[in-house]
Every structure is written in structure tokens, then in C-alpha cells.
């Protein structure tokens, strides 16, 4: 009798199982790969073991997809701009290499515009994987710049809608507006609602790949306040119900544990191809929702993974293409050049000093910390090192400003989170983070609100990037058209050796 009961319970539960099935799915995710095609030392992870690289990443993705062919790989944008290989090929090397990663869907990030929107379009057409965006339009038209807002994939019998968007704020905040002339970003919330409405009736799950929020940290060591850095995603999920999963980029903020906002799971990695995100979900077909999930960030250790041969061949080809330019030695370097987001850095000092020396009229030069993307090891600085350190095709702009305007600019810098202003040796300032600038000295004297000064900076900032609009009100404005990397190269070539320096140029008052 008992056996009979057990047997019937077993049969009932079996029947129930097939009726209410729980399906297990893995969403692999990356973001802000930033052209890190090759493994390198990332000191915040390990001082001795190399990390990352596309050939290792491709192997890891393949292993995961062999484990479960239903896995999906989603990238949340910013594949361009990082090591010189991207700058020198205007992103082509990156897109062509990404073709070997096994990406199922990617969205567009702000850095894809670093060489102009027309170049962006030209390059992403070479992608053999779907790239999605649904809220960037040609100004004043209903024509999407890249007409592919979403796609539907089928896995385990589930229909999965994947939408791609770019945060409106991030678009205007972090792209040099000359690069996006004629293009506008429209409200991501509005378009997310629209696409959800279209997808909801025909899909089981909706995933959003989005590039938005707080700009990526650009320090060797940075903040890890996850919720603060991903606040924009938390808010988006709160304001727009209906998304099951958000894969986000831009903040360079990894989620060891996925965040959950209004029922939406939010994941991201710490960027620059140092890790692969792996979100595992259980989807209940009866409840029609995800019933459990877990996320992990798998660090890509070079010594643990074999290079994927196809990828290795591709990235080696591109490396050889650019080496002729990149390997040219510029000058011996006595100490490592390090960048910093929240304080004075010896790398910031180098670039600011180079710009200051560009024209003798210049009183001071400033550089946005976010422009500096890679440290340079002691030894010999090569042209490639300089491009990797400052990968953007920014030019030197000279502006004549009143002292009060200079103060306004420094106040703006002090109040925001996009990194401090790095300054040349003729400048010194003290500031209270997130509040205001205290004192500014130019050539050893306190700034005079009514005097006029020549301030030089990368055209990214003088054109209003990072919100530095005050440069647009300058008394005189001269764009030299000369690339900052070339200015830095010439500055260094005039010396026998370069000794990095700190000069107490920036004082933080708390
Ligand atoms: Fe970004």
C-alpha cells in the first residue's frame, strides 16, 4: 500500500514537473571591453599574474557554451578606445576580433563614437554579431542611426527579447559633441516602455543591454560603492517595470552579487575584459518569471586558460598591422606613470605640462582625468604607450578666460564625479570633493577674477564634454587642430629622459 502511495506521488510529481517546468539558463555578460585584446598586468587584481585578453575570453566563452549550448553572451557597449590598437584602427581591430567572441547581442556605448558617428557606423557594419540600439536618432527625424532596436532569441523553448539602448545623459555627458553632430539621444525610459510593449506579448523574458549612468572609473584603484555607481540602472528598473534582466555598462562597476530593483536583476562587470560575468537563472514556465538567480564574475587569468587559436590569429594580425607605428621609442622613463581619477597623478602632470608648453601664451593647461586610460611602465615610452595612455583623437584648444570663468570651471570639476582636473605646473588648486574649489593659484599667485588667462585643454572639455560648458563662453577660442598625443610626443622628444613628478598641484580639503 505504502509503495503504491509513494509510486503515485512520484507519478503526480512527475506530471506536475512537466507541467510547471523550471528552465535553467545562463547569461554570460561583458561590458566596457575597451579594446583590451591582449592580457596584461592589472595591479588591482594581481601584481604578477596577467589578466584578460580576447583569446582567453574567447576560450572561456567557448567552454561555457560547451557546458551548455543554450548560454547567451551579451555585451553592454564601449568596445572601442583603450590600448592603441583601437585608436590606430579607429575601432576596426576591435570589431573584427569581437567576431570571434561568440556574442549573441551587444549594444552601442559612448566610446564607439570616439572617431565620429560615421566611423562608428562603418565599423559596426563589420560585426558578424547583432548590435542593438533603439534610441539614437538622426536629429529631428524618426530614423534610427542604427536601425536594430531589439531581437528575439529562442533558448530551451523560451523566447527571449533583447533590447539595446544608450542612456541619454551618458550620451551628452561623455561624448565630444563634434563626433555626434546630427545625432540625438532620446529618453531611454520612453523607448524602453515602447519596446517592452512590443515584445511583451511575443516573448517569455526581456533583457536590456544598456550603456548609461556614472562614467567609468579611471583610476588604478577606485570606489566600489556598487549601488551608487549603478544608481541609474536601479532607477530605470524602478521606473519601467517589465524588464527581467539588465546587463549594464559605462560605470565599470562589477556586481559580484546581482542587484535587484523592482524585480529586475541588474548585472555588470568591472570592465576592460578582466572578467566574464555569469548570471544563472531559473525560469518557471508556469509562474512565467525568474524564480531564482545567482551571478558570478569569473576573473580571466592568463595562466589558467589556453588561447583560442582563431582569436589569437586575428588579434596577432592586428597587432602586427599597428606595431610599425606603436613600437617607435620616444624617451626613457625613470618611474612608472600612473593615472588617478580623484587626485593629482604624475601622468596627468605629464600631459598637462606638455599642453602648457605647446604655446608660450598659455598660462595653464588642464586635462580631464577620464582622458587618461592606461599607466606606462618605467623603461622606455613608445608612441603606442602614449596613445594607450591618451587614446582619444583630441586636439589642443587655447581659450582666453576671465579669472571668474576659470573659477567656474574648477568649481564644476570639484562638484562632479567624472574625475578631477589634472593641471600643469603653472597651476595649483585646493578643493572640497563634491562641493567647490577653494583656492586657485596661477604662476604662484592667487587667481584674480577680473584678469584674463590663457587656459589650454583637450577639445573634449572645451566643447562642453563632462559638462565644461564655460569654455564655450571664452573671450577667445583657438583650436590648434594638433593632436594631444603628438604634442606629448614632441614635448618628450625635447628631453633626454623623463622623470615623472608630483608637485602638490592639487590639494584636497575635507
Ligand atoms: Fe562608457
Domain assignment present for 12: no
pLDDT attached to residue 90: 97
pLDDT attached to residue 221: 43
pLDDT attached to residue 417: 72
For residue 367, give the CATH number of its domain: 3.90.780.10
pLDDT attached to residue 349: 98
Residues 375 and 467 in one domain: yes
Residues 232 and 356 in one domain: no
Q: How far is the CA of 110 from the centre of ligand 1 (A)?
A: 5
The environment of the single-atom ion ligand 1, i.e. residues with CB closer than 5 A, is 78, 109-110, 250
Q: How far is the CA of 481 from the centre of ligand 1 (A)?
A: 25
Residues 274 and 362 in one domain: no
Residues 258 and 179 in one domain: yes
Domain assignment present for 143: yes
Residues 387 and 482 in one domain: yes
Residues 439 and 482 in one domain: yes
Q: How far is the CA of 206 from the centre of ligand 1 (A)?
A: 23
Domain assignment present for 439: yes
Q: How far is the CA of 423 from the centre of ligand 1 (A)?
A: 24
Q: How far is the CA of 382 from the centre of ligand 1 (A)?
A: 26
Residues 341 and 285 in one domain: no
CA distances from 200 to 135, 193, 197, 206 (A): 19, 10, 6, 8
pLDDT attached to residue 216: 74
Q: How far is the CA of 248 from the centre of ligand 1 (A)?
A: 10
Q: How far is the CA of 289 from the centre of ligand 1 (A)?
A: 30
Domain stops at, among 300, 318, 336: 318
Domain assignment present for 10: no
Q: Three-state DSSP class for 180?
A: helix
Domain count, the chain: 2
CA 419 to chain centre: 14
Tell me the pLDDT tens digit for each residue of 351-379: 999 999 999 999 999 999 999 999 999 99
Residues 303 and 225 in one domain: yes
Question: CA-CA distance, 173 to 464, in Å (whole number)?
Answer: 8
Q: Which residues of the chain have pLDDT under 50?
A: 13-17, 220-222
Domain assignment present for 2: no
Residues 30 and 161 in one domain: yes
Q: How far is the CA of 63 from the centre of ligand 1 (A)?
A: 28
Q: How far is the CA of 392 from the centre of ligand 1 (A)?
A: 13
Q: What is the 3-state secondary structure (H, E, C) of 346-402?
A: HHHHHHHHHHHCCCCCCCEEEEEHHHCCCCECCEEEEHHHHHHHCCCCCEEEEEEEE
Residues 392 and 308 in one domain: no
pLDDT attached to residue 462: 96
Pick the closest to residue 167 from 216, 133, 193, 118 (CA basis).
133
Domain carrying residue 391: 328-508
Residues 380 and 444 in one domain: yes
Question: CA-CA distance, 300 to 296, in Å (whole number)?
Answer: 12
Q: How far is the CA of 109 from the centre of ligand 1 (A)?
A: 6
Q: What is the pTM (predicted TM-score) of this model?
A: 0.86
Q: Three-state DSSP class for 424?
A: coil
Q: How far is the CA of 385 from the centre of ligand 1 (A)?
A: 21
Q: How far is the CA of 298 from the centre of ligand 1 (A)?
A: 21
Domain assignment present for 15: no
Q: How many Cα atoms within 13 Å fall on the side-chain side of residue 69?
A: 2
Domain assignment present for 29: yes
Domain stops at, among 292, 318, 344: 318
For residue 36, give the CATH number of its domain: 3.60.21.10
Domain assignment present for 427: yes
Q: How far is the CA of 164 from the centre of ligand 1 (A)?
A: 14
Q: How far is the CA of 219 from the centre of ligand 1 (A)?
A: 15
CA distances from 407 to 186, 256, 324, 455, 471 (A): 32, 40, 43, 12, 11
Residues 293 and 354 in one domain: no
Domain stops at, among 290, 318, 346: 318
**Residue 194 per-residue DSSP state:** H
Tell me the pLDDT tens digit for each residue of 15-74: 444 567 999 999 999 999 999 999 999 988 999 999 999 999 999 999 999 999 999 999
Question: CA-CA distance, 356 to 469, in Å (whole number)?
Answer: 21
Amino acid at each position: 500500500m505504502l509503495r503504491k502511495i509513494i509510486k503515485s506521488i512520484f507519478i503526480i510529481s512527475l506530471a506536475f514537473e512537466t507541467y510547471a517546468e523550471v528552465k535553467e539558463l545562463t547569461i554570460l555578460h561583458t561590458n566596457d571591453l575597451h579594446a583590451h585584446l591582449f592580457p596584461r598586468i592589472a595591479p588591482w587584481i594581481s601584481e604578477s599574474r596577467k589578466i584578460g585578453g580576447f583569446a582567453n575570453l574567447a576560450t572561456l566563452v567557448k567552454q561555457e557554451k560547451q557546458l551548455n549550448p543554450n548560454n547567451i553572451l551579451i555585451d553592454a557597449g564601449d568596445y572601442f578606445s583603450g590600448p592603441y590598437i583601437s585608436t590606430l584602427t579607429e575601432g576596426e581591430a576591435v570589431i573584427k576580433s569581437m567576431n570571434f567572441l561568440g556574442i549573441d547581442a551587444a549594444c552601442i556605448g559612448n566610446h564607439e563614437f570616439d572617431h565620429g558617428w560615421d566611423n562608428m557606423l562603418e565599423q559596426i557594419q563589420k560585426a558578424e554579431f547583432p548590435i542593438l540600439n533603439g534610441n539614437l536618432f538622426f536629429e529631428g527625424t524618426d530614423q534610427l542611426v542604427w536601425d536594430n532596436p531589439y531581437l528575439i532569441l529562442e533558448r530551451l523553448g523560451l523566447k527571449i527579447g533583447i533590447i539595446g539602448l544608450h542612456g541619454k545623459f551618458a550620451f551628452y555627458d561623455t561624448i565630444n559633441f563634434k563626433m555626434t553632430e546630427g545625432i540625438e539621444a532620446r529618453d531611454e525610459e520612453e523607448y524602453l516602455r515602447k519596446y517592452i510593449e512590443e515584445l511583451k506579448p511575443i516573448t517569455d523574458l526581456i533583457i536590456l543591454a544598456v550603456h548609461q549612468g556614472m562614467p567609468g572609473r579611471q583610476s588604478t584603484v577606485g570606489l566600489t560603492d556598487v549601488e551608487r555607481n549603478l544608481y541609474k540602472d536601479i532607477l530605470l528598473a524602478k521606473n519601467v517595470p517589465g524588464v527581467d534582466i539588465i546587463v549594464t555598462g559605462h560605470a565599470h562597476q562589477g556586481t559580484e552579487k546581482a542587484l535587484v530593483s523592482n524585480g529586475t536583476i541588474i548585472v555588470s562587470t568591472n570592465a576592460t575584459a578582466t572578467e566574464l560575468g555569469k548570471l544563472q537563472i531559473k525560469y518557471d514556465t508556469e509562474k512565467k518569471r525568474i524564480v531564482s538567480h545567482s551571478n558570478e564574475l569569473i576573473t580571466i587569468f592568463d595562466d589558467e586558460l589556453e588561447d583560442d587559436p582563431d582569436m589569437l590569429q586575428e588579434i596577432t594580425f592586428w597587432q602586427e598591422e599597428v606595431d610599425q607605428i606603436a613600437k617607435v621609442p620616444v624617451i626613457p622613463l625613470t618611474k612608472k606613470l600612473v593615472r588617478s581619477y580623484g587626485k593629482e597623478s604624475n601622468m596627468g602632470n605629464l600631459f598637462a605640462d606638455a599642453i602648457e608648453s605647446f604655446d608660450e601664451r598659455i598660462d595653464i593647461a588642464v586635462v580631464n582625468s577620464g582622458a587618461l586610460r592606461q599607466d606606462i611602465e618605467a623603461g622606455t615610452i613608445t608612441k603606442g604607450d602614449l596613445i594607450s595612455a591618451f587614446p582619444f583623437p583630441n586636439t589642443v584648444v587655447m581659450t582666453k578666460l576671465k579669472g571668474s570663468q576659470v573659477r567656474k570651471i574648477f568649481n564644476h570639476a570639484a562638484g562632479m564625479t567624472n574625475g578631477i582636473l589634472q593641471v600643469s605646473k603653472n597651476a595649483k588648486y585646493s578643493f572640497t570633493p563634491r562641493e567647490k574649489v577653494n583656492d586657485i593659484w596661477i604662476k604662484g599667485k592667487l587667481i584674480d577674477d577680473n584678469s584674463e588667462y590663457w587656459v589650454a585643454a583637450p577639445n573634449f572639455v572645451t566643447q562642453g564634454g563632462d559638462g565644461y560648458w564655460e569654455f564655450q563662453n571664452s573671450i577667445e577660442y583657438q583650436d590648434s587642430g594638433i593632436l594631444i598625443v603628438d604634442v606629448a610626443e614632441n614635448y618628450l622628444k625635447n628631453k633626454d629622459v623623463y622623470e615623472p613628478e608630483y608637485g602638490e598641484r592639487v590639494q584636497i580639503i575635507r
